[in-house]
Amino acid sequence: MTEAPRKLSRNETHDLSMIIKDRTKVLRAHAEEQAAACMADFEKQMAAVYTFDQDEVWQKATREAQRVVQESQETIAKRCKQLGIPPTFAPSISASWQGRGENMLAARRAELRRVAKTSIDAMTKAAITKIEKQALDLRTQVVGMGLLSPDAKMFLESLAPVEESMRALDFGEIEKKLEKEQQLRLADRRRLYGGE
């Protein structure tokens, strides 16, 4: 025959609740530290500059491109001479190595940074919510183990979970909402400018 679980004393429930509270603070701080580390890693990746000579294949391709450009430039210069175009006014062709790709543009870096920050913030909030939910579940269990009256236990079990009040976003729904807003703005402009 199994024994009924032992009830916790008021001091035990208090002490356990305090430990859970302290652990929650530490886990939240850890989640925020991880978020900062993720953002730092993203910034490092975005700032990376690759040189043509750090990879054998890149180096070979760059040398080949330079050779083709040099031959093409000689052809262009020869034709310019035939057409009587002075060398100072002659068109030219060139090729250069771009070590950063599209993230060399400040606007692109800002856009990437914004998206990364939004994603990291969402992950951090999700982690903190999970930590808080687990802490609440543990504190609820601890308090439940200290409750003696059936009315108190029934009240504790009657609290609705948060998931019932939140739902996932529907991308199609957001697109429709945005399209409707754009149509309203366009209709307002037409009314304002008399059908222009």
29-50 tens-digit pLDDT: 999 999 999 999 988 888 888 9
Q: How many other C-beta atoms lie within 10 A of the C-beta of residue 144?
A: 15
For 48-168, where are the alpha helices, taking DSSP H only? 56-83, 106-146, 150-157
Please state the length of the chain. Answer: 196
pLDDT tens track of the chain, all 196 residues? 566 666 778 888 888 889 999 999 999 999 999 999 999 998 888 888 899 999 999 999 999 999 999 999 999 999 999 999 999 999 999 998 888 888 788 888 888 888 889 989 999 999 999 999 899 888 888 887 776 666 666 666 665 555 555 556 666 777 777 788 888 888 888 888 875 5
Q: How far apart are CA 61 and CA 35, in angstroms?
A: 39
pLDDT tens column, 81-115: 999 999 999 999 999 888 888 878 888 888 888 88
Q: At what angle do helices 150-157 and 106-146 cross, to 10 degrees?
A: 160
pTM score of the predicted model: 0.57
